[in-house]
Structure 1
Amino acid sequence: MSQQYCGKCGAEGLETDLFCAACGASMQKVAVGEQESVPVVKGIVQQASAHVNGMVGEKGTLDLKLKDVFSSVFEKHTKEEADLLFISGTAVTTPDESEIQTSWPKPWLFSRIFLALASVYVLLYITATAFESTLVIPGLLVMGSFAVPFSLLIFFWETNAPRNISIFEVVKMFFVGGVASIAATLFIFSMIPVYELNVQGAITVGIIEEVGKLL
């Protein structure tokens, strides 16, 4: 008995199939005992990329590589390019469906924002240690806490191919959602207090915090 598996995406097909129904590649027969050699992980990734590709109006799988996604990070960009990104997502600047780019977005602005926040953090740290000033400690804590999460937020905002979400909405959801999750978490803590700092207490705290974020 033999079964066919696509050598490109790993999808299973009928024995009589000549081409893969998922990606259109030529099918090859693989014995049942050789199923372990089929690139299952690659197939899952390809199927996920096909779903994402369908969201932007394309069909089939998407040959996505991390080096392609981050290829624009090390390129030189002008201030005008950053301005065009920041004004996207409004009623005036949102492109029509026919004008949406079908290629995978190549974000780069997030890296500049991370470098800026990291530079501010380093300067505050130098100020705090060199002058032994406690006045900059609040700013040090804020910059250290926001550098990575806010940069990741900008990264996912840049990968939004339709360009239909403005930076104002993103920042508003970031701060309002963050404060709301803290309020929800503290409310749950008031009903389910944690008194002991042990393994069970740490697990309980983690569950409560995640539930607060979901709310």
Structure 2
Amino acid sequence: MKYCPHCGNLVREKANFCPSCGNALVETSHAQSVSDSNNQFKEIYNNATAKLNHYTGEEGAVKVNIVDLFSEVFKHHTKDEAKSIFIAGTETTTPALADVSDEWAKPWLFS
């Protein structure tokens, strides 16, 4: 089976053009196909992080280091550490805006 890389419809094995969208069907090597898939994943990832970043009032894609983001998951944490996450909105728990870190959070509690 062969699929059109432009529209995803099934095409004949020997076809040169897709009957659905009319685009030329170009033979690609496995390495080129993997490279194209990686580029497509990066584009989707960048678009997703850019949209999320836009909701925070910022612009552009964001690099997220998944290993760093989840680095606290397998470490031992006390119940007091967990409680301190949920205590918020008081004079002693709400930092000034200038004191809020712009580093990525490490969401160990929710794992």
TM-score w.r.t. the length of structure 2 is 0.49
Larger helix proportion, structure 1 or 2? 1
TM-score w.r.t. the length of structure 1 is 0.29
